[in-house]
Amino acid sequence: MKVWVLSFSTITEDARVLKQVRVLAAEHEVTTVGYGPAPAEAVAHYEIPAELVAWHKDRLSLILRRYSRVQARNAVIAHLRATLPVGEADVVVANDADTVPLAFGLQPRRGVHVDLHEYAPRENEESWRWRLFVAPYYRWIVRRFVARAASVTTVGQGLAAEYRREFGIEVGVVENATAFHEAEPGPVGAPIRLVHSGNARRNRTLELMIDAVAVTSTDVTLDLYLMPNDPAYLAELKERADGVRVRVLDPVPYADLVPTLTAYDIGVFVLPPLTFNYRWTLPNKFFDFVQARLGIIVGPSPEMAALVREHGLGEVTEDFTTASLTRALDGLDPQRVAEWKAASHALAPQVAAERRSGGWVEAVRALERGTGPV
């Protein structure tokens, strides 16, 4: 079939969407719509001009709750409505809530599958302005459009349960699994080498990890591979890391990330639950750590913590504080870390994207058969 993958992101740098394209391209002709160049697997690509901002929403229309006008006045949506041919796709896979009204406007012959990377109505709930003006807009999208989709997936059980509770939508789960990598656990270093990769966003409280490394009694180092989302915050982190066994490094291309991570011993991600989505996070980096055969230290985020405990991958801190992470680091020894790395090695084939991305494939197959949701 002709399957269109629609995302308001740079698809070649968006790990989840790129995996989606790859697994669907094994069975269908995939056309992509997004920022940046075409993924290698796409038969066609509609590039969103870089100067158009997808997240911008007309403030007056939001305040007045004229949500159709919010859509009409968004530069990216207006551009794509004028550019994309209607009725050419058999299936449109719409990534994130913002793309869903457009996906229906493309009138795919077999239907729309929606993949929600976050719990959209609570994405930036730490901001009262966002809660007051933007959250109702996303609830409108979910009720009016997502609820009409043939099938819906999201990244974890906690988010799926909340979509079911608030909107009555049955949502499947496709985790942010990483492609399988052939690797062996490396010997534990001296010092023990900690690593984190991700976005430099202030509300992720990344300084927590720096401060814990600065005071732990264990011989460790920490490297942070960070995207420059907030240059001012990134500069603050670099200053904070100076002289305390921590390096803040430039990000590496996603294709090189797992091979880069294999040089380390433990992946660290302690994310205070500032928002609902942060509480239920189960991110790409968790599965990157597994494929790199690392031990893992996380905070008590329910979905990550459950996997760490079930498979003996590492340690879950008592809470989301610097003191709690420091205690976890103080208790490290090379033998324990080697056991964690061996546990990741045993788990890696089971949680690889090749085995965990079937929800998208099955959803599109169901549309091909005309059997509806799966």
Residue with tokens 């994130």: 96
Would you say the CATH fold of 192-347 matches that of 2-174+357-369? yes
- Residue of 97, 116, 122 whose CA lies nearest to 279: 122
pLDDT, tens digit, for every residue of 279-318? 999 999 999 999 999 999 999 999 999 999 999 999 999 9
Mean pLDDT of the chain: 96
Residue 373: its pLDDT value, please? 45
- Give Cα separations from 59 to 64, 67, 126, 349 (angstroms): 9, 11, 19, 47
- On the question of pLDDT at 223 being above 90, the answer is yes
pLDDT, tens digit, for every residue of 174-200? 999 999 999 999 999 999 999 999 999
Is residue 372 within 8 Å of 315, Cβ to Cβ?
no
Residue 371: its pLDDT value, please? 62
Beta-carbon contacts of 211 under 8 Å, excluding residues fewer than 6 positions away, are 240, 322
Read off the pTM: 0.91
What type of residue sits at position 32?
T
Domain boundaries, the chain: 2-174+357-369, 192-347
CATH architecture of 2-174+357-369: 3-Layer(aba) Sandwich (3.40)
Question: What is d(CA 296, CA 343) in angstroms, rounded to the nearest whole number?
Answer: 10
Q: Which superfamily does CATH assign the domain made up of 192-347 to?
A: Glycogen Phosphorylase B; (3.40.50.2000)
Is residue 207 within 8 Å of 325, Cβ to Cβ?
no
